[in-house]
Amino acid sequence: MVRTELVTPPEGAAVGERVMCAGYEGEPDEQLNPKKKVFEGVQPDLASTDKCVAAYKGVPFTTSAGVCTVASVALGPIK
């Protein structure tokens, strides 16, 4: 059975606040070209850590209020 959980922002994060990963700063594309399959290129590097923190290449997803998490799926892929 495959478990699915939502990535949850930390308490106090503002609605619409940008989620960042340290070392991967930059400006978002105004519009993604679906032919470039951007998400498919980064998805293999998206996963939760052993402490259920959402991460890209092991670097936590963060907001000004802290890190984003999943409820219970440790070391699981993020899709």
Q: 56-78, pLDDT tens digit by residue? A: 999 999 999 999 999 999 999 99
**pLDDT-derived band of residue 32, with 50, 70 and 90 as boundaries?**
confident
In tens, the pLDDT along 42-56 reads 999 999 999 999 999
Dihedral of alpha carbons 28, 31, 34, 35, sign: negative
Q: What is the pLDDT of residue 33?
A: 86
**Measured between alpha carbons, how far is 6 from 69 in angstroms, rounded to an integer?**
9
Query: Cβ-count burial of 32 within 10 angstroms (0-12 exposed, 13-18 middle, 19+ buried)?
Result: exposed
Residues facing residue 59 across a β-bridge: 56
Q: What is the pLDDT of residue 34?
A: 85
Residue 29 identity (one-letter amino acid): D
Query: Cβ-count burial of 5 within 10 angstroms (0-12 exposed, 13-18 middle, 19+ buried)?
Result: middle
